[in-house]
Amino acid sequence: MATEKRIDIDNGYEDYTINRIPADLTPEERQNANRAIYGCYLGCHRPAVEEVPETLSPKLEGFDPQYFFNQFVDMDMERQAGVSSQMKEMVYTISPKEMADISLVLSERPMKWNPRKEVLESDAYARGKAKYDASCKMCHGEQGASTNPAYPPLKGKCCVRFRTADRLPRW
């Protein structure tokens, strides 16, 4: 019995659905995706295996491929210059199919998490974890790596700063 081939749905740039899985990539598609990813690492993002602090360039590994693809599209939608302006060059030079291939390769790479021991043992971490577990984990997942489009992943992003009622800015 033959297996059915998975095909992405390409209804245009902003309406592309990834149905393939990483195993569906040909060696050539995988090689081309890895070349593009290498350029991202050289430019801004750095691979997750490096011990670097979070920057404005989030880590790329370990998220759902559709989330990655949608991030590419969002970079194009932000027409103003700014943080994402560096990404426009990449977005404009690759096809939606190539964006999907890159997204598939990145999705299968694990993101390393190496917190400092003194942080894990601190009272502040314990309070923050308790707050996250009670208020955020149900939607954003155990380590903030949600694959639900309604609740975007937090893992790999710049620090998230929560404001409590007593610390709200006075405008």
With cut-offs at 50, 70 and 90, classify the pLDDT of residue 40: confident
Question: Residues 68-119: pLDDT tens digits?
Answer: 888 888 776 654 445 556 677 777 788 899 999 999 999 998 876 666 778 7
Confidence band of 151 (pLDDT split at 50, 70, 90): confident
Q: Does domain 1-114 have CATH number 1.10.760.10?
A: yes
Domain with CATH 1.10.760.10 in the chain: 1-114
Instruction: Report CA 131 to chain centroid distance, whole Å.
Output: 23
Q: Which residue has the higher pLDDT, 146 or 7?
A: 7
pLDDT of 123 over the 80 cut: yes
Long-range interactions of 13-16: CB distance < 8 A, separation 24+: 13/73, 13/76, 13/96, 14/73, 16/69, 16/73, 16/96, 16/99, 16/100
